[in-house]
């Protein structure tokens, strides 16, 4: 009778956690500003499968035109055909995958430990601002996290229960994760390291066979990966990581970045403190306990091996992207749940910890929901202003693709174009085949403004500030326009500016 009451109570708690996680992921889902990556995903995914394939794999200077596998774009294509392209609709699948990840966090920790740990793991995953962030974005990261944890779930069942019944699930989930993101192999590598370090020779033998099947299923894309990594090296903004990037990773995992600036010292302190205390408890206590030692080792490797491996790889070829480590962050949450569940604290102690952590979590989530600065400036408001003040024959020129794509998403009918990125620069990521697939082409500033009496320049304040900080008197596009046109007006939408220029010979209206 007592067991039944406890089981019912746990079900109610878990249902409450899921509902809370759903609520956090639905807040402001349709109102948050679409930014470049999301706009690109929507505009790309609306094309036919063949066009998307051409825009991705066509070689440019020996490297693939784009850096991501295609499964997410294919999925989004089908989803948009069924339900439309509004911000709420295109982000909704990430919400569902985020909820699925919470369920998997519960199931994995229940399989490894106990119900108490599994409820804590689900709760941490449900409220973690980093996971909430990417559960609200029309990109592949929420699906990557779901598939990576699904692979880990089937792996754990294969390890703990034996037999071949769960290996097909592992193979399917692992293969799909590789078709979602090129960093998915890091999460599979962590499972391999566990089987090797724990000397699970029978498990390792089965895992090798499973990998052979995965490799065969992934073979059609295997040759493209290396050319996609070449694209990253050719023209991408990813810097070589150092200590600062590792610290940013810890803060992002724990509370998300960017965050409210006044909160940054607290987040830095708490993030590093939680990490230090968790590792102390793990190595001081948990790895000395015979019962769950191997399970803790598994979570350690899942949480930290991907970070270490991609950090080391990036010293030679930088591919260190924190959001690509989202599955490792989820494993970190599971490890924290295990550490927390083993603490012997009175209720007031738990209340104190919850109160301390609730403040940065709440502020981080609030900052995330309302964030409307670079690169998520209020493009919808800017486009509405342009539409209202546009005259036939005006040129609307975007400094680069980062402002153009979101504005184009919000208004396809408004004539707009964008200036090409400096060739070979860290921002020169939109290859010509990808532009051809999209039907959207960059121009030089001279060609974009030729023959127009009035020119609107859309530009981030940050872009201007970066050139000024580098010693330039102004941004090159502003300098060129001021030499050929007369500045007439400027309107700001947070850190997004609309400059209006008129020909020098033309007198101002009104």
Tens-place pLDDT, residues 307-318? 999 999 999 888
Mean pLDDT (the chain) is 93
Are 49 and 74 spatial neighbours (Cβ–Cβ below 8 Å)? yes
Give me 60's structure tokens: 């440019």
Question: CA-to-CA distance for 400 and 417, rounded, in angstroms?
Answer: 9
Burial (CB < 10 A; 0-12, 13-18, 19+), residue 444, is exposed
Predicted confidence at residue 459, as pLDDT, reads 98
Predicted confidence at residue 4, as pLDDT, reads 60
Give me 284's structure tokens: 């001081």
The reply to whether omega before 258 is within 30° of 0 (cis) is yes
Place of tokens 């956090």: 24
Residue boundaries of the structural domains of the chain: 2-31+67-370, 379-503
Give the phi and the psi of residue 435 in degrees, each rounded to 5: -60, -40
Predicted confidence at residue 509, as pLDDT, reads 46
What is the helix (H) or strand (E) element at residue 124, kind and residue range? helix 115-127
Displacement of CA 447 from its chain's centroid (Å): 35
Listed as ranges, residues in the chain with pLDDT below 70 are: 1-6, 62, 64, 229-237, 424-426, 505-510
Are 456 and 397 spatial neighbours (Cβ–Cβ below 8 Å)? yes
Question: CA-to-CA distance for 392 and 366, rounded, in angstroms?
Answer: 41
**pTM of the complete model:** 0.95
Predicted confidence at residue 236, as pLDDT, reads 58
Give strand pairing partners of 457.
Answer: 397, 499
The widest CA-to-CA distance across the chain, in whole angstroms, is 90
Predicted confidence at residue 510, as pLDDT, reads 40
Residue of 478, 443, 445, 442 whose CA lies nearest to 460: 478
- DSSP state letter for 137: S
Predicted confidence at residue 233, as pLDDT, reads 62
Residue of 81, 73, 80 whose CA lies nearest to 50: 73
Give strand pairing partners of 418.
Answer: 398, 442
CATH 3.40.50 fits 379-503, yes or no: yes
Predicted confidence at residue 227, as pLDDT, reads 75
């Amino acid at each position: 009778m007592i067991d039944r009451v406890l089981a019912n109570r746990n079900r109610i708690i878990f249902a409450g956690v899921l509902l809370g996680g759903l609520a956090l992921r639905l807040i402001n889902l349709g109102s948050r500003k679409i930014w470049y990556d999301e706009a690109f995903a929507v505009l790309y995914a609306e094309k036919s499968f063949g066009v998307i394939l051409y825009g991705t794999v066509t070689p440019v200077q020996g490297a693939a035109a784009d850096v991501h596998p295609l499964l997410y774009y294919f999925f989004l294509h089908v989803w948009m055909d069924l339900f439309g392209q509004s911000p709420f609709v295109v982000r909704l699948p990430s919400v569902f995958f985020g909820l699925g990840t919470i369920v998997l966090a519960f199931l994995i920790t229940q399989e490894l430990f106990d119900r108490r740990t599994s409820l804590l793991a689900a709760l941490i995953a449900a409220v973690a601002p980093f996971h909430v962030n990417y559960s609200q974005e029309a990109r592949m990261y929420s699906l990557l996290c779901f598939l990576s944890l699904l692979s880990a779930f089937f792996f754990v069942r294969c390890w703990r229960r034996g037999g071949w019944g769960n290996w097909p699930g592992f193979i399917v989930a692992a293969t799909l994760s590789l078709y979602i993101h090129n960093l998915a192999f890091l999460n599979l590598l962590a499972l391999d390291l566990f089987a090797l370090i724990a000397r699970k020779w029978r498990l390792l033998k089965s895992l090798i066979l499973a990998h052979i099947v995965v490799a065969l299923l992934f073979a059609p894309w295997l040759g493209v990966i290396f050319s996609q990594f070449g694209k990253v090296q050719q023209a991408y903004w990813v810097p070589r990581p150092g200590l600062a990037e590792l610290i940013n990773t810890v803060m992002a995992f724990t509370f998300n970045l960017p965050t409210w600036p006044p909160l940054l010292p607290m987040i830095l302190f708490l993030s590093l403190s939680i990490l230090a205390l968790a590792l102390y408890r793990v190595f001081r206590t948990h790895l000395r306990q015979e019962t769950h030692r191997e399970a803790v080792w598994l979570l350690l490797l899942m949480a930290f091996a991907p970070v270490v491996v991609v950090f080391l790889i990036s010293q030679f070829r930088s591919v260190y992207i924190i959001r690509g480590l989202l599955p490792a962050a989820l494993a970190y949450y599971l490890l924290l749940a295990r550490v927390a569940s083993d603490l012997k604290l009175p209720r007031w102690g738990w209340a104190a910890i919850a109160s301390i952590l609730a403040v940065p979590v709440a502020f981080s989530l609030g900052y995330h929901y309302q964030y409307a600065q670079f690169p998520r400036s209020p493009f919808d408001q800017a486009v509405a202003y342009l539409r209202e003040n546009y005259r036939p024959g005006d040129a609307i020129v975007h400094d680069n693709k980062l402002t153009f794509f979101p504005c184009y998403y919000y208004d396809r009918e408004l004539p707009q174009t964008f200036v090409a990125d400096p060739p070979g620069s860290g921002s020169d990521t939109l290859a010509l085949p990808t532009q051809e697939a999209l039907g959207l082409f960059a121009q030089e500033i001279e060609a974009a403004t030729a023959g127009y009496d009035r020119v609107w320049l859309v530009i981030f304040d940050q872009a201007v500030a970066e050139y000024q900080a580098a010693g330039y008197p102004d941004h090159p596009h502003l300098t060129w326009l001021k030499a050929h046109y007369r500045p007439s007006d400027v309107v700001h939408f947070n850190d997004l500016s609309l400059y209006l220029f008129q020909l020098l010979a033309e007198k101002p209206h009104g």
